A and B are shown apart, each in its own frame.
Chain A
Amino acid sequence: MKYLFLVWSGLWRRRTRTILTLLSAVVAFFLFGMLEGVDSSIKQLVGIAHLDRLYTANTALLPLPMAYLPEIEKMPGVTSVTYVNAGLGSYQRPANQVAIFAVDPARYFAMIPEVVTTGDAKAAMLQDRLNVVVARPLAKKFGWTPGSRIVLHVPAMPRKDGTADWPVVIAGFCDYTTAPDTPVVLLNFDYFDAARLKDRGTVQRFAVKIRDPAQAGTVSAAIDALFVNSPAATQTETEKAFAQASISQIGDIDFLVDAIVGAVFFTLLLLVGNSLMQSFRERIREFAILKTIGFRDGTVAGLVIGEALLLCGLAGVIGLGLARLALPGLGRASGGLFPAYLSASVVAAGVGCVLVVSFVSALAPAWKAHRLAIVDALVAH
């Protein structure tokens, strides 16, 4: 720590250059935090997927007949089955996005424990088909209270009356514990099925709870084998595989994030390395003086590395700090569909990047500082 003032003063020898380099590095770490934050949040969602739940859907991405339900329920190893039709909608304006899940309240709440609601709300949904349960943050955002009558516009769910507007009544709230900001609206499936324009008596997918997660492969294969020769063949997969497949529809997020972050950090490496090299060249005499005084070669090289660490560390703290502030805003801007926060693993990866960029960019100037011959440097500079 006693060398800190020396490192600090060296860093600010050329104030403008240091500020510009710092700003570039801050932007790089901000981008890293944002991209990795989103990526890691998505991965976490996939990671917490229940291993004892399977999803059965049509191999041709068409609906499945409701008649499959009792067939699946009878399969060995299956404990319960529910079904869902999902679609994106909006409230009042297209920007106010909501995720509509048409569900059987009794079956759904029994199988999906991460969606927590009150008994009153469940009962109300069962009593009146117009009643819906909405995510608490969504209700708070739009000022919905129990009994509020609202209309949801869901283009993916056209009605028999020629509109896509679904009038509903707020019955209560739920907490989606694994993704609290998801703007969920749980719609009564019977209401949906009765009012929809087409595909009545079908479901988008079945959710199947199994007794033993180790048997997921066997049960999946058995379900698919049951319907293999039917007009609507099925594909059954674990919830985790289903989540991954859904996300991969957006694109290979991992690859995109890694490619962008890689390019950004490679550029940063060159930038910081160039800045440190310039700074070293300008201060050759000063480093020679330090050696003259008695600073060892390794200590002088350490000062150069210290400057890189301080610069990148400062940029890392500011950049990741800004990303931490901005990520919840990104989540909110997507209507909560895209949960994003800075996890501990992303911060740890950020610290790793700080260390790698610092050491790699400081390698050449630190080596030169180490090798610097005092007399030659004093004569030449």
Chain B
Amino acid sequence: MSSGIELRNVVKTYGRGRARVEVLNGLTLAIAAGDFLALMGPSGSGKTTLLNLIGGLNRPDKGEVWAAATRINQLSGGELADWRARHIGFIFQFYNLMPMLTAARNIELPLLLTPLGRDERRKRIATVLDIVGLSARAAHKPSQLSGGEQQRVAIARALVADPEILVCDEPTGDLDRRTADEILSLLQLLNKRGKTIVMVTHDARAAEYATHTVHMDKGVLLPERIAA
């Protein structure tokens, strides 16, 4: 269960002084290792904030965040970066690829943070390109790829360092239905191969690919998946 995630009494507030907005209000949540969780809710409900805390992109004001057997809210900035590199793969709505780099080079980025040699990096890139079905597009730059293909490259980049957890922020929000289904099927396949996936989505059909769905509103979970 090392890749499980647990949040305990997490509070997160943005802003200063009177303008402070409490986004997460004592949130507690447990996600088992190997789970595929869809986080749903209206805009401003705190979904992305929650996802950022799970992915170690942000820290709570109060409470504890455990992921991959580490209390990540106690890690220093550098330690948190190293932790993200080892344990988390990120997939965004707008792909967030480096426009000047080819697909293969984009995928290589997380591997630069590992001690792997050039040959081993190339092997890994070839493997994940094969998994996402883009072996023939390795030398293409993002501008030469369709939206679906770019998202596959982003998924390959998230997978290449073999993290336990995939954090997806509306991964199909910018794709047509058919392409979105392909991407979601791919995520489902990865989940079946052991990846823990947390996905924020507005799309109820996308949530159907998850093993569990949690709804949020005004910084709290609607009562169906609160940790014991």
Q: Could you list which residues of chain A lie within 8 angstroms of chain B, going by C-beta atoms?
A: 2-3, 5-6, 9-10, 12-13, 285-286, 289-298, 374-375, 378
Across the interface, which residues of A come within 8 angstroms of B109, CB to CB? 6, 290, 293
CB distance from A160 to the nearest CB of B (A): 78
Known contacts A293-B110, A293-B113, A375-B58; A285/B96 CB under 8 A? yes
B136 interfacial contact with A, CB 8 Å: no
Are B112 and A6 within 8 A (Cβ)? yes
The bracket for how many chain B residues form the interface is: 20 to 34
CB distance from A293 to the nearest CB of B (A): 5
A292-B110 Cα distance, complex, nearest whole Å = 10
Known contacts A2-B112, A290-B109, A375-B58; A297/B98 CB under 8 A? no
A285-B82 Cα distance, complex, nearest whole Å = 20
Taking CB as reference atom, which chain B residue is nearest A291?
B81
Are A294 and B85 within 8 A (Cβ)? yes
A-B CB contact pairs (8 Å), 6 listed = A3-B112, A13-B100, A291-B81, A292-B84, A293-B109, A295-B81
Known contacts A289-B96, A289-B98, A375-B52; A297/B78 CB under 8 A? yes
Name the contact of B113 in the complex, choosing from A9, A13, A295, A375 (C-beta under 8 A).
A295
Known contacts A5-B105, A290-B109, A375-B57; A296/B100 CB under 8 A? no
A2-B121 Cα distance, complex, nearest whole Å = 11
B81, B86, B98, B99 — most chain A CB neighbours (10 Å):
B81
Name the contact of B84 in the complex, choosing from A2, A3, A294, A375 (C-beta under 8 A).
A294
Across the interface, which residues of A come within 8 angstroms of B58, CB to CB? 374-375
Are A296 and B78 within 8 A (Cβ)? yes
B77 interfacial contact with A, CB 8 Å: yes
A298-B76 Cα distance, complex, nearest whole Å = 13
A2, A3, A298 — most chain B CB neighbours (10 Å):
A2
Chain A residues touching B, majority SS:
helix
Across the interface, which residues of A come within 8 angstroms of B88, CB to CB? 294
CB distance from A295 to the nearest CB of B (A): 7
Across the interface, which residues of A come within 8 angstroms of B134, CB to CB? none
A4-B109 Cα distance, complex, nearest whole Å = 12
Name the contact of B100 in the complex, choosing from A2, A9, A290, A292 (C-beta under 8 A).
A9
A118-B63 Cα distance, complex, nearest whole Å = 94
Across the interface, which residues of A come within 8 angstroms of B86, CB to CB? 294
Are B85 and A293 within 8 A (Cβ)? yes
Are A12 and B78 within 8 A (Cβ)? no
Across the interface, which residues of A come within 8 angstroms of B52, CB to CB? 375
Q: Mark B57-93, 1 if CB is under 8 A from A, else 0.
A: 1100000000000000000011001111110101010
Across the interface, which residues of A come within 8 angstroms of B113, CB to CB? 293-295
Name the contact of B81 in the complex, choosing from A6, A296, A375 (C-beta under 8 A).
A296
Known contacts A285-B96, A297-B77, A297-B78; A292/B57 CB under 8 A? yes
Across the interface, which residues of B come within 8 angstroms of A9, CB to CB? 98, 100-101, 105
CB distance from A371 to the nearest CB of B (A): 10
Number of A-B contacts (CB under 8 A): 62
| Cβ < 8 Å to A, chain B residues 103-157 | 105, 109-110, 112-113, 118, 157
A290-B157 Cα distance, complex, nearest whole Å = 12
A296-B81 Cα distance, complex, nearest whole Å = 6
A378-B96 Cα distance, complex, nearest whole Å = 10
A9-B99 Cα distance, complex, nearest whole Å = 9
Are B100 and A293 within 8 A (Cβ)? no
Known contacts A9-B100, A289-B98, A375-B52; A294/B110 CB under 8 A? yes
B82, B84, B96, B100 — most chain A CB neighbours (10 Å):
B100
A2-B115 Cα distance, complex, nearest whole Å = 11
Sample of 14 further A-B pairs with CB below 8 A, known A292-B57, A292-B96: A9-B105, A289-B96, A289-B98, A291-B81, A292-B84, A294-B84, A295-B85, A296-B77, A296-B78, A296-B82, A297-B78, A375-B52, A375-B57, A375-B58
Across the interface, which residues of A come within 8 angstroms of B110, CB to CB? 293-294
Are B112 and A292 within 8 A (Cβ)? no
Across the interface, which residues of A come within 8 angstroms of B83, CB to CB? 294
Are B90 and A293 within 8 A (Cβ)? yes
CB distance from B159 to the nearest CB of A (A): 12
Name the contact of A292 in the complex, choosing from B82, B90, B118 (C-beta under 8 A).
B90
Across the interface, which residues of A come within 8 angstroms of B92, CB to CB? 378
CB distance from A285 to the nearest CB of B (A): 7
CB distance from B142 to the nearest CB of A (A): 12
A248-B99 Cα distance, complex, nearest whole Å = 56
Name the contact of B82 in the complex, choosing from A13, A294, A374, A378 (C-beta under 8 A).
A294
Taking CB as reference atom, which chain B residue is nearest A285?
B96
A182-B222 Cα distance, complex, nearest whole Å = 92
CB distance from A89 to the nearest CB of B (A): 61
A78-B58 Cα distance, complex, nearest whole Å = 84
A297-B82 Cα distance, complex, nearest whole Å = 11
A298-B81 Cα distance, complex, nearest whole Å = 11
CB distance from A15 to the nearest CB of B (A): 10
Known contacts A293-B85, A293-B90; A286/B78 CB under 8 A? no
Across the interface, which residues of B come within 8 angstroms of A3, CB to CB? 112
Across the interface, which residues of B come within 8 angstroms of A12, CB to CB? 100
